[in-house]
Amino acid sequence: MTAPQATLGLAAMERLQALAGFSDEPDRLTRLYLSPSYVAASDRLRGWMEEAGMRTRVDAVGNVIGRYGDATGPALVLGSHFDTVRNAGWYDGNLGVIAAIAAVGFFHTKGDTFPFPIDVIAFGDEEGVRFPTTMTGSRALAGLVAPDDLDKRDGDGVSVREALASAGLDPDALATCVRAASDIAAYLEVHIEQGPVLERENRPLGIVTGIAGATRARVEVTGIAGHAGTVPMAMRHDALACAAEMILAVETVAHEKPKLVATVGVVDVRPKAANVIPGFAGFSLDVRSEKDVVREEGLAAIRAAFRAICERRHMGFHIDIAHSANAVQCDARLMDLCDEAVRRVGVAPRRLVSGAGHDAMIMARLAPVGMIFVRCRGGISHNPLESISPEDADFAVRALIEAVRAFRP
Ligand SMILES: [Zn+2]
């Protein structure tokens, strides 16, 4: 598992460092969708794509698209996103874009041609940080962005439509972004793992089997507020103590059910005073699984536990489901292709599920999708501490090269 000189990886790392310089803030990386630094980074990406022998364009929602080769027919699309969260790391999304350009650049240098066109797409708005939207770039390709979505506004009151116009794009040309399923043969995305599994097993790369489905809910528990000194313990209806028991039940259900993860990340309490028994507690609930049936069973078990706890404590509760997305499976043939590509660069293939969402889950509406994960230090992401090694970047680029070479539409 040694990379000879890691030259492709080192070159990719240099570009990732250069790309990190395109930021909305001076001392940290924040590249929000359609910001001035996003537009400047688009130009930089186009330049690199053109050096790699691609013809480039920016579509109406700000996706940067490069095409390699004169072949006609359905394209093999390689890509990821280049918008970031606030105070981001350098690799989330950007690695997949740079790796795709590096792979095509390698083919260009060798004079390699393919019987199918290769498109590299750098998507925007995967992170969904600036506007109350997410994955606008890939969703526009899949025809899932409605003109109304462009009226959504950021924290400064700027609409997506206005931001597109100030970026020099034409919001009325939204429909021109749409790609037909018959136009795309497959989609391959390289991405940092954003989790600790590959690092723990000392593996540079993994092959993604699917992207977990997710349910996001808000739970509210109603008790009775009262004086912390005068109400005897046996007569209390403490909403926070009840919520605490419910939160532990969430953890227990997820522990007991294989392939299920569940998280409570936000808790709020009212009236929120040290000398008042809480009369109300609300908390978030995030439940994910690669198997939709497991997620549904998990949710049912969580609801049953909530009911039992609240009945015993004589409390009321209700759950509002805010958002629900089914799991997306990666294509079996592309997983085999990626296994073989990874093996060819000297890495034993290891399959794993993605707990985080990616553009690939939207692209799955249009074409079979595959993803290769790259080990990241400590599994850390959405954080300036995000880190990968040049050797692992090299494995990633070379595996992508092998996958493209072995691909048949
Ligand atoms: Zn990402």
Q: What is the Å distance from ligand 1's center to 85 Cα?
A: 9
Residues forming a β-bridge with 77: 119, 187
- Side-chain half-sphere exposure of 180, counting CA atoms within 13 A: 4
Closest by alpha carbon to 58, among 78, 40, 74? Answer: 40
Q: What is the Å distance from ligand 1's center to 205 Cα?
A: 16
Q: What is the Å distance from ligand 1's center to 382 Cα?
A: 9
Give 237's contacts (C-beta < 8 A, 6+ positions apart): 223, 224, 226, 277, 279, 313, 314, 315
Residues forming a β-bridge with 238: none
Q: What is the Å distance from ligand 1's center to 267 Cα?
A: 26
Q: What is the pLDDT of residue 3?
A: 45
Distance CA 5, CA 16 (A): 18
Distance CA 217, CA 318 (A): 10
Q: What is the Å distance from ligand 1's center to 84 Cα?
A: 8
**Tokens 């419910």 belong to which residue?**
246
Q: What is the pLDDT of residue 1?
A: 46
CA angle 406, 211, 62 (to 5 degrees): 80
Distance CA 254, CA 269 (A): 24
> How far from chain centre, in Å, is Cα 398?
23
Distance CA 357, CA 254 (A): 20
Distance CA 376, CA 352 (A): 14
Closest by alpha carbon to 400, among 102, 86, 59? Answer: 102
Distance CA 248, CA 286 (A): 14
Structure tokens belonging to residue 130: 């600036």
For 176, other C-beta atoms within 10 Å of its C-beta total 11
Q: What is the Å distance from ligand 1's center to 362 Cα?
A: 13
Largest CA distance in the chain: 83
DSSP state of 153: B
Distance CA 96, CA 51 (A): 18
Distance CA 184, CA 173 (A): 21
Digit-by-digit pLDDT tens for the chain (409 residues) are 444 579 999 999 999 999 999 999 999 999 999 999 999 999 999 999 999 999 999 999 999 999 999 999 999 999 999 999 999 999 999 999 999 999 999 999 999 999 999 999 999 999 999 998 889 999 999 999 999 999 999 999 999 999 999 999 999 999 999 999 999 999 999 999 999 999 999 999 999 999 999 999 999 999 999 999 999 999 999 999 999 999 999 999 999 999 999 999 999 999 999 999 999 999 999 999 999 999 999 999 999 999 999 999 999 999 999 888 899 999 999 999 999 999 999 999 999 999 999 999 999 999 999 999 999 999 999 999 999 999 999 999 999 999 999 999 9
Q: What is the Å distance from ligand 1's center to 93 Cα?
A: 4
Distance CA 378, CA 358 (A): 20
Start-end of H helices in 111-159? 136-141
Q: What is the Å distance from ligand 1's center to 381 Cα?
A: 9
Q: What is the Å distance from ligand 1's center to 276 Cα?
A: 43
In this structure, what is the dihedral angle of CA atoms 98, 34, 328, 251, given to the nearest 10 degrees?
100
Q: What is the Å distance from ligand 1's center to 102 Cα?
A: 18
Q: What is the Å distance from ligand 1's center to 23 Cα?
A: 17
- 235 contacts 188 by C-beta, under 8 angstroms: no
